[in-house]
Amino acid sequence: MNQDTITNILVCGIGGQGVMTATEILAEAAIAEGHDVKKTEVAGMAQRGGVVTSHLRFGRKVLSPQIEPGTVQVLLGFEGAEALRWSHYLRAEGIALVNNARLVPPVVELGLFEYPEDPAGQMRAAGRRVVSFDAMSIAHDLGEIRLGNTVMLGAIADYLPFAPDVLLACIVKRFARKGENVVDANRRAFAAGREAVAKQLGTASA
C-alpha cells in the first residue's frame, strides 16, 4: 500500500466558505516542498449551500486522488457539523482542527432535522483528537471576517510535514498584489490561527 508514505488532508465545510481556495493554498505549499500532489473535490451544486469536501494528498508519488475513510492525518473543518460528518475519515491517531461555526441549513430551521448540540464534543466522545476554536471571532477581532480562511490555514500550519513558514509564504504570495496592509493582516491572522490551536492544547506555539 501507498498509504503510509502519503499525507492525506481533508478540508470540509459548506459551499461559499472558501474550502476549495484553502486547499489550493495547502497544495501550493506541498508543491513548494517538492511533493507530488493531487487535490480533488466535488463542485457543481456545492456552491449553493451544500456540503463541500476537498481532498488533498501529497507525497513522493500520489496515485488515487480520493481519500478513503480511516486514512486522514488532519481534518480541517470549517464548520462544526461538517467536521462531525466527515470525522470517520480520520485515522486513529489523526487530528481534527475545527472552526466552531454553526451554519444551520433551512431543512433544520424548518424543523425537519436537528443540528447536533456539540459536534466537537461528540467527536471527542467517539475518541477523536479534536481542537476547536472560533475562527470567525478571531478574524472579527482582527477587524475583518474575511481573514477567517487565513486563520484556518494558521490552525493547520503546525500539523503539516513541513515548516509553517512554507505555508505562510504561499499565503503571502497570493495576497501580495493586494498591498502591504492586506499581507500584514493575513500574517496576523495566520499567527492567530496557530496560537488558537496551541493555546487549546496548552502548549506554546512553535
Partner 1 sequence: MAAVMPQLATPPVPSRLLLSGNEAVARAVWESGVRVAAAYPGTPATEIIESLARYPDLHTEWSVNEKVSMEVALGASMTGARAFCAMKHVGLNVASDCLMTMTITGAYGGLVIAVADDVGLSSSQNEQDSRFWGRFAHLPILEPADSQEAYEMTKYAFGLSEQYETPVLLRLTTRICHVKALVSVGEREAHEPAGFIKNPQRWVMVPAHAKARIPGLFQREETLRGVSETSPLNVLEPGRDRRVGFVASGPAYMHVKEAFPDAPVLKLGFSYPWPLEKMRALAAMCDTLLVVEETELLLETEIKAAGIACHGKDVLPRMGELSPQVLSPAVDRLLGKEPPPPAPAATPMKVFPRPPTLCASCPHMGIYYTLSQIKNIIVTGDIGCYTLGAGHPWNALDSTICMGATMGVALGIDKGRGEADRNKRILAVIGDSTFMHMGMQGLLNITYNKGNITVLLLDNNTTGMTGGQATPASGRDIHGQEAPRVSLAKVVEALGVAVEHIRIVDPYELPVLFKTVREEIKHEGPSVIIAQRPCVLTDGFKPFRPYLVDEDKCTGCGNCLDVGCPAIHVTRREMAIKPSGKEVELAFANIDNQACTGCGLCVQPCAPDAIQHVARHDIPIHIVKS
Does 39 engage in binding with partner 1 (CB under 8 A)? yes
Does 178 engage in binding with partner 1 (CB under 8 A)? yes
The CA-based angle 172-160-96, given to 5 degrees, is 110
What are the Cα distances from residue 100, in Å, to 26, 81, 97, 120, 126?
A: 21, 9, 10, 8, 18
Number of residues that bind partner 1 (CB under 8 A): 67
Instruction: Please report, as residue ranges, which positions from 87 to 106 form the binding site for partner 1 (by CB under 8 A).
Output: 87-88, 90, 92, 104-106
Does 74 engage in binding with partner 1 (CB under 8 A)? no
Min. distance of Cβ 145 from partner 1 in angstroms? 7
CB-count burial class (<10 Å; 0-12, 13-18, 19+) for 114: exposed
Residue 191 contacts residue 152 (beta carbons within 8 Å): no
- Rounded to an integer, what distance in angstroms lies between the CA atom of residue 175 and that of residue 28? 14
Q: Which stretch binds partner 1 (CB under 8 A): 41-49, 148-156, 157-165, 191-199?
A: 41-49
Residue 131 contacts residue 96 (beta carbons within 8 Å): yes
Does 141 engage in binding with partner 1 (CB under 8 A)? no
Residues that bind partner 1 (CB under 8 A): 1-2, 14-15, 24, 27-28, 31, 36-51, 62-66, 68-70, 81-82, 84-85, 87-88, 90, 92, 104-116, 122-123, 126-127, 143-147, 178-179, 181-182, 185
